[in-house]
Amino acid sequence: MSELNTPVEANLLDDVLKPKRKLCCGDLRVILNYMIAEQQRKSSSLKIGIFTVFLVVTIITMLESVVSITPILFVKIG
């Protein structure tokens, strides 16, 4: 990359390379506002989502418990 000739070019490069924190917070605010508005319009979607997460966590926990108990069952049977 060539050297920067003027301080203005150096400042422009710094502005391009700096992370934009305000943009991230603005995006987060837009996402949260959308989620709140969507939940108020369609509360059943939120309930379905929460139930789905609960169901998946329950099934995964049950399967993990069965896998951890399996050797004990074979020892008792044998």
Q: Verify that 75 and 49 share a domain, yes or no.
A: yes
Report, as an integer, the average pLDDT of 41-63.
93
Count H helices and E strands in the chain, helices first.
3, 0
Instruction: Compute the distance between CA of residue 21 and CA of residue 26 in angstroms, rounded to an integer.
Output: 9
Structural domain harbouring 4: 1-41
Whether residues 33 and 51 share a domain: the answer is no
Rounded to two decimals, the pTM is 0.49
User: Contact, 46 vs 39, CB < 8 A?
Assistant: yes
CA 11 to chain centre: 34
Q: What average pLDDT does range 34-42 have in this prediction?
A: 87
Q: Are residues 34 and 1 in the same domain?
A: yes
2 and 34, same domain (yes or no)? yes
pLDDT band at 48 (very low <50, low <70, confident <90, very high): very high
Sign of CA dihedral 27, 29, 31, 37: negative
CA pair distance 58, 3, nearest whole angstrom: 60
Indicate whether 23 and 50 sit together in one domain.
Answer: no
Query: Do residues 5 and 35 both lie within one domain?
Result: yes
Indicate whether 74 and 61 sit together in one domain: yes
Query: How many domains does the structure of the chain reveal?
Result: 2
